[in-house]
Structure 1
Amino acid sequence: MEPPPGAAESSKLRHVEKDVLIPQIMRERAKELCSEKVQAFTKCCQETGLLMVVKCRQENSALKDCLVGYYSDPLFYEECKTEYLKQREEYRATGIKKKRQKLTSNVIVRRDGCPMPACGPD
């Protein structure tokens, strides 16, 4: 049985995909998976100001270890590569780009604590 036409072409990666786009997905996913350490480092930096270089070494080291652990994992790379190939295939089929949104920046919360779109107008 022959593979479908374009199957070999669909799994080939261009230089920019291999070296830029897939690592970008890896960084985003690793930040999500290491979110506790990201929050701890961010909090430390906000509390210490200019002294963060000295006072946040422990948090920075923990964050770096977490992120590098994911970046150096070949299985994690393959997962992100598969995710990218699915997105690329979907784009090629539909012509519609998948928008990457940061949900926290797009949600406006009213004073009563309810997100705007969910509650309707004031």
Structure 2
Amino acid sequence: TAFSKCCKEKGFLMVIKCREENAALKECLTYHYKDSALYEECKQEYLKEREEFRQTGIPAKKRQQKVPTNM
């Protein structure tokens, strides 16, 4: 993001020099945070993963790892 790039370039001065980028980032995050369609999509994905975990006992991150085929 522009904010990350600015912070890397400005170092300790980022607090002063990256205010515009920080404001734009906050505005973007706030917009998406209030998006009810995105909220519902994330909620459904979470509920699906939770149900799979309850059935298998395996977290989603572990389930997504590929099992070696040469065992």
TM-score (norm 1): 0.47
- Provide the rounded CA distance (Å) in 2 between the counterparts of 1:52 and 1:94: 46
In the TM superposition, what is the alpha-carbon distance from 1:44 to its structure 2 partner? 0.4
Which structure: greater helix fraction? Answer: 2
Structure 2 matches for 1:85-96, cutoff 5 A?
85-96=47-58
| Structure 1, gaps ≥5 residues long | 1-38, 101-122
Deviations 1:39-93 (A, max 9, x none): 2111101111111111101111111111111111121111110000000111112
2:38 equivalent among 69, 76, 82: 76
For residue 59 of structure 2, give the secondary structure of its aligned residue in structure 1.
coil
| Number of aligned residues | 62
Alignment match, 2:5: 43
- Provide the rounded CA distance (Å) in 2 between the counterparts of 1:69 and 1:48: 27
Structure 2 matches for 1:4-83, cutoff 5 A?
39-83=1-45
Give the alignment's Cα RMSD to 1 decimal: 1.4
| Structure 2, gaps ≥5 residues long | 63-71
1:98 equivalent among 39, 46, 60: 60
% identity of equivalent residues: 63
TM-score (norm 2): 0.78
